[in-house]
Structure 1
Amino acid sequence: MKDGDENEQVRELQARLRQLHHFDRAPTGFYGTMTAGSVKAFQKKQGLPLTGSVDLTTWERLLAASRKPTADELRPSTTNQLDTPDARCMTGRVLCISKESRTLAWMIDGKVVSSMDVRFGSENTPTREGTFSVEWKARKWTSTIYHTPMPYAMFFSRGQAVHYSSDFAARGYAGASHGCVNVRDRAKLSALFDQVKVGDKVVVHW
């Protein structure tokens, strides 16, 4: 396993590293810089070469040092921990959205005002990455394509929006969006919706 991989084995890797206090967030199944850093920490403790990728020796040592993760450990319902904000999020008013930690941080001048768990589109309907701005908002909206409710929608990229999802609230990460950024905490999103203005920056990154 290495940087850029995304599969269930990566999710198990993260859950096992979390058992050993090397990975401090909910498993995402995506192998990014945070996972590579956690692997290096484990390799250092084991006296292995600090590659940041998982070869057979590293994996076998990890299996020996940890136990098989439970379903809740693989997909916990707990709130995800924020990662280090992207550099593009450090100035102005920004919805800073991390695909790796699956979080949205509402930031003003480099300070986190509020944060919440999010989920993204599937491989077939991916959430676009990059720097955008809030184009328009709708407190009550129904998708014209999928005919599903999208409360507190803040559109940022050709139909993709941050919005509340009752499916995310009910099923968690067992599901996915059609490309939008889903939020499961309705109260937090309602408060955020009132603060965000059309024209505020949106950054979607790994």
Structure 2
Amino acid sequence: MARGSARRRTAVALLVTTAVVAPAGVLATAAPAQAAPYCNVTTGSHQRQVERFLKLTVDGRQSLKDCRAIQAFQTRHGIAPNAGWAGPVTWGVMHLMNQQKAAGKNPNRSGRCPTDKGRIACVDLTRQLSWIQDGRRLVHGPVPVRTGRNGHETRTGAKKVYWRNKNHWSTLYDVAMPYAQFFDGGIAFHSIKGSVWSPPGSHGCVNLRRSDAATYWSLLRNGDDVHVWGRKPGT
């Protein structure tokens, strides 16, 4: 009996040791490696344009390197699916960025935004640009914006800022709208998280990067003019 008890005590000790040590080893070594996101290596419909924009080798043929670079751009700007394919949506975002860059420091070259009203916030839907002028003087911008998607287009015309709420919360969409400045019913300037280039667009508001929204908050007041014109691509 004593010899049998000794054997049982030894077996229990081994089980306890295994129960304490083995899980730690399993946890340290058995976690599966994260699979890389799927990358579409098919040549896209806008391959050359996308390659040129990303400063890749412009040969019109998709490579894994191309795919990874395109995928990173898509992920950064909320383009779905982010599989690295050089399609029309991805090129549309890049083309818009090119247009915005071309605006330089003279965004009102066409004179579409009236400059005889004193302080005014200008919103060009076609180029997805906004800026603030004081008469003929450019005060801030131009800055990229994201306006209303198809079916929720930002309305055009002459408006005025009529209500401001720095920490506004939308009860309609259950989302934060920091630095909200309303100028047309429920339509407001406000900041968003993520990229202002992410498609398809807002529900009508003029979305800004946080730093730009904060500057707009510091520059505009109730009663200031807002002028909206043009047409957002895809609407």
- Report the TM-score when normalising by structure 1: 0.60
- Alpha-carbon RMSD: 2.8
* Deviation (angstroms), 1:72: 5.6
Q: Paired residue for 2:201?
A: 176
Q: Paired residue for 1:191?
A: 215
* Deviation (angstroms), 1:175: 3.0
Give the letter for the 1:173 counterpart: S
Output the CA distance in 2 between the equivalents of 1:162 and 1:69. 30
What are the Cα deviations for residues 23-65 of structure 1, in whole angstroms up to 9, with x where unaligned?
xxxxxxxxxxxxxxxxxxxxxxxxxxxxxxxxxxxxxxxxxxx
**Pair 1:74-2:92 in alignment:** yes
Q: Paired residue for 2:165?
A: 138
Output the CA distance in 2 between the equivalents of 1:74 and 1:122. 14
Output the CA distance in 2 between the equivalents of 1:89 and 1:124. 30
Contact preservation (8 Å) 2:156, 2:227: yes
Distance 1:165 1:89, change over 3 A: farther
Q: Paired residue for 1:101?
A: 127
What are the Cα deviations for residues 154-194 of structure 1, in whole angstroms up to 9, with x where unaligned?
1001110011111444xx232310111111x2112212211
**Pair 1:163-2:181 in alignment:** no
Output the CA distance in 1 between the equivalents of 2:210 and 2:151. 26
3-state SS of paired residue (1:152) = strand
* Deviation (angstroms), 1:111: 1.5
Q: Paired residue for 2:8?
A: none
**Structure 1 gaps, min length 5:** 1-11, 20-67
Output the CA distance in 1 between the equivalents of 2:113 and 2:152. 26
Give the letter for the 1:177 counterpart: S
Q: Paired residue for 1:113?
A: 139
Deviates more, 1:92-101 or 1:72-81: 72-81
Contact preservation (8 Å) 1:131, 1:201: yes
Identity %: 26
**Structure 2 gaps, min length 5:** 1-45, 54-85, 231-235
* Deviation (angstroms), 1:74: 3.2
Q: Paired residue for 1:125?
A: 152
3-state SS of paired residue (2:144) = strand
Contact preservation (8 Å) 1:168, 1:175: no
**Pair 1:205-2:229 in alignment:** yes
3-state SS of paired residue (1:75) = helix
- Report the TM-score when normalising by structure 2: 0.53
Q: State how many pairs are aligned.
A: 141
Distance 1:133 1:78, change over 3 A: same
3-state SS of paired residue (1:113) = strand
Q: Paired residue for 1:91?
A: 117
